[in-house]
Each structure stands twice: as C-alpha cells, then as structure tokens.
Structure 1
Amino acid sequence: MDGTGEYDLVILGGGAAAFAAITEASSRGLSTAMVNTGLPIGGTCVNVGCVPSKHLLAVGESAFASRDNPFDAVQYSKDEPTVDWGAALDGTDNLVEQFRQTNYVDVAEHYDTDIYEGYGKLVDDTTIEVVDGADEGARITGEKALVATGSAPWAPPIDGLDDVDYYTSETILDERDLPESIVIIGGGYIALEWGQILHRVGVDVTILQRSERVLSAMEGQLGREMQRAFEEEGINVVTDNDVRQVHSPVADGGAEAVQERIAVETEVDGDEHTFRAEGLFVATGVQPNSENIGLEAVGVETDADGTIRVDEYFQTTNPDIYAAGDVIGEPELETVAAKEGNHGVKNAFGSVERSSAGHSSGQSPREDDEGVTIDYDAVPAVVFTSPEVASVGITELEYMDEHGTCSCRTVQMEDIPRAKAVENTDGLVQIVKHHETDEIVGVHMVAPRAADMIMEATLAVKFGLTVDDIIDTIHPFPTFSEAFKHACQAFRRDTSTMSCCVE
C-alpha cells in the first residue's frame, strides 16, 4: 500500500491489542489504519505463542498418553508411539495460517482497516512512517495513535551466551530436527510449557531455574507442586541456580563433545555444577518492542526496562498517543492486550451512546465522561501444562504483607471425587479470603482442567463473592470444578469427614 493517508486512528502494531482497537473504533464509525511491524499479522499469540504452543502441547499429550496411563485394565504393547516433529510443525503452520486469515486478515478487511506492512516509526506526533519493508515510504496520520508493538523473547547477560546458538519460544518453531537433549534456562510458564512439549516428544530435558521454585511469580504451592509433577514425569528440574557461563564443549574435542554441544556452568547452593546437552533453550522472559520506533521524537516516555509509561487510562506522556499490550508491561497476556486496546480507544475518543445492536449512535464524544480502566487483580493467569496451573487475585504472602494475617485453605485434588474416579489426582486448590468479610480475594490451583475451572474463581474475585456464596451454589457432580467449592467448604467444616455432595 503506497502513499499517504489520514485516519481517525493509526496503530503501530498488528496483534491482539491492535485488532481489539480497530473493532472498537469501527463500532464508532472511525477510520483506521495499522502498520504491522515485526511478526506476521496477528502478533505473538497466533504466530509464535498461544496457538502453536497449545497445539504442540496436545501433540505431546497424545504421544505421552500410553506412558501416563493409570489403569491396569488398559494395556499397551512395548512399542512406544513416535512423534514426527516435522509433521507436528506442519500441522502447527497450517493452524496458524487459518487463525491468521480468519481472525485477523478477514477481520481487518471487514472493518475497512488499511494495513501497511513494514517497520514503522512515529514521526511528527501522531504520524507513522514505514521506514523499511513492503510499504516503505508510506506515511499515515491519525487524530490519535495507538502503540501496540508487543514484546520479544529476552536473553539475560550471561557470559558466553552471545557466542553459542540457542532456541527461544519463537526460533524453536523453525527447528525441524530436535536435539536429543536440551537445557532450558528459566522457570516461568514458557519454560514449563516448552519443557513438557519437548520431553513428551522424546527430548531429554533439564530446566534450570534461578529462584527457589519454578513459577516464582505465582503462589508458592503451585511451583512446588509443578516441580514434583515434572520430576515424577522424568523432567529434571534444578532450582536455586546462579548461571555463571555458557560455552560449547565441542572445542575440547572427543566423541562425547559432539553430542554435548552446550555446557551451562552454574552454582547451586554454593556448589559448582555443569549441565551439558545438545541444545540450549533460553526462556527468561520478554522485553517490550519499544526501541527505534520514534518514541523519543514524539515525547513518549519509557521506564528503565523499556516499557512505555502509561496512566490507568492507557494514555502515554503524549496526550494524543495511547499504548496497549505487552509493550506497556505485565501481565503479558493476549486477552489483557485486547482489553487494553479496546479501552485505549474508548479513552482516546470518549464515550458514545450505542443502540441495542451495539453500534454507535453517531453522537460526538463527551469530554466529561470518565475513562475506563482494568482491575488487574481480577485477571486470571494460566499455564497450559499437564496438570494445568491457574491463578487469580492475590497470594497468601501478598495478603499477609498487607494485613498481617491470612485466612487461607488448601485442598488436594486427591480428595476430589472426580479426580479419584479417573485416577488423575495431581494438584491442589488454595483459596485466600478476606479475614473479615469472607470475600474471596485469591484462588490458586494446579489441577486437570484448571484453565477452565479458574473462570468461576475469577468471577468470585471480580464481584466480591464470599465463600458461602460458592458453597450455596449447586455444582455438578462429579466434576473437577467441585474442588473450588470443596476449598470453600474447608473454611466451614472438616472436609476429611465430609460426604459427597454435602452443602
């Protein structure tokens, strides 16, 4: 797309935040254009994040099913299933292409959004210039601008890391021949999801976590439970690592060195250790894509870590420019990015009255309308491993720090009838409630289908439901979701002597 154009809203970026923004803008009758910088249209989630990783987790789960079978009545032959990794990636590529077309390209066309491909920079306040790529030289200007450039994998300053080849959550999707063994540096959700994917398709996996537990940003019990589950499955998890150096032992010679192309030197509890493998995967977080996009030129400030500084209404230090998604920092979630993009547009252009069909009435925005914000305490986080991990609200430690006391209960999945019936008993559910009002303020779980179970807990946190509200609600039996009710009941009775279905 050539030339110049003037629009109501121009967007730098083409992911979830950008598409939520054009959806909201279209409902107001606003003209929109975006410069898709970096990944193909759709951003991280569809291209290299949620969609491919969840597809490959399902591939790994199917491959691992025979080894994970708990029933004596089901027998398998000695021949273990094999995974054609290249075919798995072909399936992923096809799935990504379908999502990209139907959820992004077709949506942009439906909303008459002009898409400019190439590397874009902000110039002249709310003007974006394409400085490299297919539409180089194009300039688009808007009444308002939204920066939604997302994030990219971040590698820490480890001695020697720049001198060796390593995978990230993006580059692993280009690897058709997996190594026989791999060391993963990091212990967050990316490390755990990819660690389980690779282990279940036949790679020998070692996870090195810096802190005392994996998933260190979540409730402590969750990380400890996942480490136990991973080690039981055969994944080596080493915590309390101080990684000192990464190098290639190939230079040392020998047949063994050919198969051990990476050596990671760490200090664990004061003792020096060297972990060797054929491959290295760095999963130590992400960094915002905020460099070299013209922020300084238009007066948009960033914090020390590169995240764009915004107020609670997603307005940057330039009043005509808003920002949303990973580029403004945690929580780096696709659904949060979409909500931020939507709210950024609402705040930039003000409220409008809508008809029952959800369309704008055409009235002008009212400047005295209050802006819309997000309650981040009611945002659920999920790790799609097996078992799954899910969390919403504050943790026991956070509550203790704030109130000096905590009213918490934890139940084990092995005590839940459905989990026992299907012999899938890994996990736990913990509830944090207000010590005076009994309102549920935090729920944290490791469990089968925790990703689905967390929504009831999210509604409880969002709307201030009490443990008695949950107890008084009839739950279907037998289900995994009963674990949430069971944990609420633990505040009122001794659940170890409780019959099934008791209120």
Structure 2
Amino acid sequence: MTTDNAYDLVILGGGAAAFAAITEASRRGLSTAMVNTGLPIGGTCVNVGCVPSKHLLAVAEHAAAPRENPFDAVQYGHEPTVDWVTALDQSDALVERFRRTNYVDVAEHFEIDIYEGYGEFVDGTTIAVVNGADEGAQITGENALVATGSSPWTPPIDGLDGIEYYTSETILEERNLPESIVIIGGGYIALEWGQILHRVGVEVTILQRSDRLLSGMEEQLGREMERAFETEGIDVLTGNEFRRVRGSVADEGDTMESAVTVETVADGAERTVTGKALFVATGVQPNSEDIGLEPVGIETNDDGTVRVNEHFQTTNPDVYAAGDVIGDPELETVAAKEGNHAVKNAFGNADISIDYDAVPAVVFTSPEVATVGTTEREYMDEHGTCSCRTIQMADVPKAKAVQDTRGLVQVVKHHETDAIVGVHMVGPRAADMIPEATLAVKFGLTVDDIIDTIHPFPTFSEAFKQACQAFRRDVSTMSCCVE
C-alpha cells in the first residue's frame, strides 16, 4: 500500500484498544485502517504480556507441585524438571495461534486495511507511514484514534544504562536462564515473573523501592504476598534506596560468567545484592514520543500519557486515544473498553465513559491477588473513618479442606449506607472470586445483599460472603452453614 487513502476511522496502533475500535467501527459500517509497528499485530497482551506469561505461570505451577503438595497421602517419586526451551517454544506457538485467530483473522473478516510501518501524524487526522513495508503511504480519517500502547520503563539508577538486563519482553527471548536473578520492582510483573523464574529453578531476589510489594494496592495484599514469597523461597527486600548497579564478567575456566551487583540502602543500612543477571520490572511508559502529536494539537501530560477527557477525546477534537497510552489502569480489558467507547463517542455522540472505581485488577501468582474499588487508606483519607472487615483464608471451610489457607479477604463498605465500595483479596482462585465483588462495587450492593445471597458450599467464594458477615457477627464462633 503506497497511495493516499481516506477512511472514516484511522488508527495508530494494533493492540486491544485498536481491535475493539475496529470491531465497533465495523458494526457501524465505517471504513477503517490502522498503522502498526513495533510489536506484531495484537500488541502487548497477546505477544509479550498476558498470553505468554500466563502460559509460563501454568508451566511453573506444575513444576512446583511436588514442593507445594500439602497432602501426606500423595507421594512423588522424583522432582520434575523444566525444559525452558520447550516451554518457550510452546508459548511462542500459543501466541502465534492467538495472534492469528484473535487479531489477524478478525482484521481480515472486517476488511480492515493494515499498513505496516512506523506512523506519525502529519496534519489533523492524517497519518503518514514514515518507514517500514508501507513507507510513503498516507491515510486520512474523519476521526483518528491513538492506541500505541506502552513499553517497559527503566528508572534512573546510576549504572543501569551501562549494563544488559531483562524486561518482561526480552526475557521471552532468553533460551538459557541464569542461575540467579535480581528483580528490581515490586508490582505485578515483578511478582509474576519472579514466581515463574523461581519455580523453574532460578534463584530469585526481588528488590522493591516502596515499603511493601504491590504498593498501588491495599496495603495488606503486598505484605501477605511478601510472606507467601518468603515461605516459598523467594527473597524479598523492600524499602530500597537504589544507589548503583554494576556489571562484571569473570573467567570461569572455559566460559566467561557475567554477574550484576545492586548497591542499595534499606532500613538505613547499606546492602549489596548480587546475581547472575538483572530483571527490571518497574512499570511502563506510554508510546507517545515521535508520533507527531504536538504539531496536530494533541497534548500530553507530564508523564507522557496522552491527555484525554472523560470521553477519550484528545485536545484535537477529531482525535481520540485509548489504552496504555492514556495511562492507568494499564489492562487489556480496559484498553478494549476504552477503544470501543472512543468510537461510540466519535461517531455516535454517545458521551460514555468508564467507572474506573469498578475495574478489577488481578495478579496471577500463587496465591492470586485480586482487588476492586476503594482501599482502606483511600476511604480514610476521604471520610476520616473506615468501616472495614478482614477475614483470613485460614478460617474459610474450602481453604481448610484443600489445605491451602494462604491469604485474606477485606471488604470496605460505606459507613452510612453499607454499600460495598472496595474488596481486596489474596488467596487461591482470587481471580475467579473478584467478578462478584466487582458487580457489588459497580451496582452499589450492600453487605447484606451478599449475605442474603446463597453461595455454594464449600467454595472459596464464601470468603467474600464471610467477610461481609463479619460486619454483622463474630465469624470466629460461626458454624459453616450460618446465614
């Protein structure tokens, strides 16, 4: 494609937000084109995010099964081994299938023109392909959508720019894992990859700048995960003030062995943490540079995210933006919803937005972490009081029965109306439990609404109900069947 073309909608990017947008545009009978570069069609989630990481988490979980087995009645004859190359090959094959069926085939079905190359705005809603397979092409739309996603962000630590390190993208290219690895960061990427690597045989140390893991979530969740990781054998050091990172190479006979040293201060004491390799998992940055935003009147915030109003419209009224490029929450499902709403607003004057307070977030570790709505601290800051209850998974009948009692569930309710405004949990199946809590937050259900709803017994989902019951009774003296 090397000619100029006009469409109803032109999109810069090819991930979840873009594909949700083309789906809605097709439903409306709109002509659509997209320009994609960097990651292949499908963006972060399918290529280097959700799909490969969850596949490898499952591989790691099976590898850890003998060590995690709580039942004396079950005996394993030997420890399993993990063929990392085979695991990556199977992950790559899975990604390829997802990319083909969920993205490429979808684009072909909707007859979307895809321009391969680096795109940038050159005038109003006109995007030029400045390099790549379709260099020289220009596409113009009645409206445009910026959906360029995000990339791993590296913090300004002395020495870091002078050594090699892994990110959540580059680790997927490594066929020969190191004996040990130091992970800088304490968010969901650090935790998921830390557990994957530990369970396939790598010695893992996690260094977090904040005083707890998962610092953006309810405080109890990060502390609970720190205990779970330490019990599993993953070293965690929080409250770090990073001073310097150094790399070195030593002659080990027939091979040259590399190593990395992180110099930090934690709890007022100088610490030196070493490993064979470094993994930087400190978040992401929006892909908003060098795509021609400023010349066409699209403003960005101080952190580089594209500035939008509640209807996803940029400061150029004919251009909308969605997905990671507009900032938190950087979730595939949110990006898709934003892309869908952007098209409805641009072409249908729908004036719809998203209630971000009712968006759940999950960390797919073992145990899982899931959260939705207001945290205890946020509620305290707003109201000066908090009506909160926390129950331990150790008191939940299903957890006792399967001998997996790690975790907790906390419910935050409005101190006057009893409406549930936040639910935060660590535990087995937390990812599958959070949708009920999300509905409660979204529709303003009260703790009594949950109590009055019969839950199957025994299930982990009863933990949410039990946390609601804690507002009404002493659950420590409650039998299994009390309503």
- Deviating beyond 6 angstroms after TM superposition, the runs of 4 or more aligned structure 1 residues are none
Query: What whole-Å deviation, never above 9, does each CA across 1:441-474 have from its counterpart, x for those lacking one?
Result: 0000001010010000000000000000000000
Report the counterpart of residue 160 of structure 1 in structure 2. Answer: 159
Q: What are the equivalent positions in structure 2 for 1:60-459 lying under 5 Å apart?
A: 60-77=60-77, 79-250=78-249, 259=257, 261-351=259-349, 370-459=350-439
TM-score scaled by structure 2? 0.98
* Count of residues in correspondence between the two structures: 482
User: Aligned residue for 1:41?
Assistant: 41
1:12–1:37 Cα contact (<8 Å) kept: no
Q: 1:430 aligns to what SS in structure 2?
A: strand
In structure 2, give the amino acid aligned to 1:12: L
Distance across 1 between alignment mates of 2:41 and 2:447: 43
Gaps of at least 5 residues in structure 2 are none
Cα pair distance change 1:216/1:306, threshold 3 Å? same
Equivalents in 2 of 1:375, 1:26: separation in Å? 25
In the superposition, the TM-score normalised over structure 1's length comes to 0.95
CA distance in 1, matches of 2:247, 2:308: 43
Partner-residue secondary structure (3-state), 1:128: strand
State how far apart, in whole Å, the 2-side matches of 1:308 and 1:37 are.
19
CA distance in 2, matches of 1:448, 1:163: 41
Whichever residue aligns with residue 48 of structure 1, its letter is V
Cα deviation, residue 112, structure 1: 1.1
Deviations 1:246-286 (A, max 9, x none): 111337x788x965610111011111111111010000000
- Where 1:178 maps in the other structure, the secondary structure is coil
Q: C-alpha offsets along residues 408-444 of structure 1, whole Å, 9 cap, x if unaligned?
A: 0000001101110000110000000000000000000
Name the CA distance, whole Å, in 1 between partners of 2:352 and 2:201: 48
Matches of 1:259 and 1:276, distance apart in 2: 13
Worse-matched range after superposition: 447-456 or 342-351: 342-351
SS at match of 1:66: helix
Structure 2 counterpart of 1:289, one-letter code: N
* Counterpart pick for 2:442 among 462, 466, 481: 462
Matched residue of 2:114: which SS?
Answer: strand
Equivalent residue for 2:457, pick from 441, 460, 477 = 477
Other-structure match for 2:482: 502
Displacement of 1:502 in angstroms is: 1.2
- Residues of 2 paired with 1:454 and 1:259: CA distance? 45
Give the C-alpha shift of residue 76 in structure 1.
1.4
1:71-110 deviation line (CA, Å, top 9, x unaligned): 0001112x31110000000010000000000000011111
CA distance in 2 between counterparts of 1:270 and 1:310 reads 42
Distance in 2 (alpha carbons) for counterparts of 1:501 and 1:399: 32
SS at match of 1:73: coil
For residues 385 and 50 of structure 2, the distance between their equivalents in structure 1, rounded to whole angstroms, comes to 37
Q: Is the 8 A contact 1:260 1:276 kept in 2?
A: no
Contact 1:259–1:277 (CA<8 Å) still a contact in 2? no
Kept in 2: contact 1:260–1:277 (CA 8 A): no
Deviation at 1:38, TM superposition (A): 1.4
Residue in 2 aligned with 1:354? none
- Give 1:112's aligned amino acid: E
**Distance in 2 (alpha carbons) for counterparts of 1:482 and 1:269:** 39
| 1:205 aligned counterpart, secondary structure | strand
SS at match of 1:315: coil
Separation (CA, whole Å) in 2 of partners of 1:258 and 1:68: 35
Distance, in Å, in 2 between the alignment partners of 1:397 and 1:189 is 20
Return the alpha-carbon distance in structure 2 between the equivalents of residues 228 and 115 of structure 1: 48
Deviations 1:203-259 (A, max 9, x none): 0000000011000000000000000000000000000111111111337x788x965
Aligned to 2:6: 6
Q: Using the alignment, how far apart are the partners of 2:106 and 2:314 within structure 1?
A: 27
- 2:468 matched residue in structure 1: 488
SS in 1 for 2:130: strand
Show CA shifts across 1:377-419 (max 9, x none).
0000000000000000000000000000000000000110111
Letter in 1 for 2:339: G
The two structures, once aligned, show a CA RMSD in angstroms of 1.1
Look up the SS of the partner of 1:244 in the other structure.
Answer: strand
Query: CA–CA distance in 1 between the matches of 2:225 and 2:316?
Result: 44
**Structure 2 letter corresponding to 1:221:** Q
